[in-house]
């Protein structure tokens, strides 16, 4: 049984996240200031002012003891966080029991050294993909450790592949992962997470009416 915890992201937010990621790439590649960016800034300021009047007054997620409070709905982070939050990488993944495999292409927004992905975003990718794997299998929990070994620079704007293998020992989920380019190893990861009991999860508030 797939593991979920939280509400589904809004479809328009998914559309906006993908667009904002592409716009960020374009702005980071500009040689000079452009009037379109000035117009975008003004539109975003107007949108910010309007949205501030529509979001809950408390930024705390309505989970557990705060379920009846004035906070926000908590969006499910079990899988595909990058689909609705442009701060996270997007990836494709296929889960087959103890093994998962997938692909990723890092845009300019995640650049560190010239033409190279910032190592922190590689860590974010694996933390998300390992959790995605665990949630699809049906036994998941909070990450307790994540250790990466960078073997080669990870290139931007390049089709990359990854592999993840998992096992469960007592109350811990152990995962090992590899990031590759044309079969060449770029990064290895060892991750550990709690094998949580679904029955102990705190209650989560659904979205509320207008």
How much is the pLDDT for 1?
80
Quick: pLDDT tens for 40-87.
Answer: 999 999 999 999 999 999 999 999 999 999 999 999 999 999 999 999
Quick: pLDDT tens for 97-143.
Answer: 999 999 999 999 999 999 999 999 999 999 999 999 999 999 999 99
**What value does the mean pLDDT of the chain take?**
96
Residue 155 lies in a domain: yes
Residue 157 lies in a domain: yes
| Count: domains in the chain | 1
Residue 48 lies in a domain: yes
Domain of residue 150 covers 11-200
How much is the pLDDT for 209?
84
Pairing mode, strands 91-96 and 143-150: unpaired
Residue 3 lies in a domain: no
How much is the pLDDT for 5?
94
Query: 182: domain CATH number?
Result: 3.10.129.10
Quick: pLDDT tens for 159-187.
Answer: 999 999 999 998 999 999 999 999 999 99
How much is the pLDDT for 20?
97
Residue 210 lies in a domain: no
Residue 42 lies in a domain: yes
How much is the pLDDT for 210?
65
Measured between alpha carbons, how far is residue 179 from residues 63, 68, 78, 109, 161 in Å?
34, 42, 21, 19, 6
How much is the pLDDT for 62?
98
**What end-to-end distance do the CA atoms of the chain give, in Å?**
32
Residue 50 lies in a domain: yes
Return d(Cα 137, Cα 117) in angstroms, integer.
Answer: 29
């Amino acid at each position: 049984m797939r593991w979920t915890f939280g509400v589904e992201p809004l479809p328009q937010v998914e559309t906006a996240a993908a667009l904002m990621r592409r716009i960020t790439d374009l702005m980071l590649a500009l040689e000079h200031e452009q009037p379109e960016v000035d117009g975008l800034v003004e539109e975003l300021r107007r949108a910010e002012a309007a949205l501030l009047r529509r979001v809950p007054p408390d930024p705390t997620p309505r989970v557990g003891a705060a379920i009846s409070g004035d906070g926000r709905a908590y969006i499910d982070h079990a899988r595909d966080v990058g689909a609705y939050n442009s701060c996270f990488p997007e990836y494709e993944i296929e889960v087959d029991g103890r093994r998962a495999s997938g692909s990723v292409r890092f845009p300019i927004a995640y650049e560190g050294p010239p033409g190279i992905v910032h190592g922190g975003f590689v860590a974010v990718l694996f933390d998300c993909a390992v959790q995605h794997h665990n949630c699809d299998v049906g036994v998941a929990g909070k990450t307790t450790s994540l250790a990466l070994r960078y073997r080669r620079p990870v290139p931007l704007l390049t089709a990359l592949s990854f592999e993840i293998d998992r096992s469960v020992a007592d109350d811990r989920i152990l995962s090992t992962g590899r990031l590759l380019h044309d079969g060449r190893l770029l990064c290895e990861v060892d991750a550990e997470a709690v094998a949580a009991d679904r029955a102990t999860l705190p209650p989560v508030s659904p979205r509320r009416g207008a």
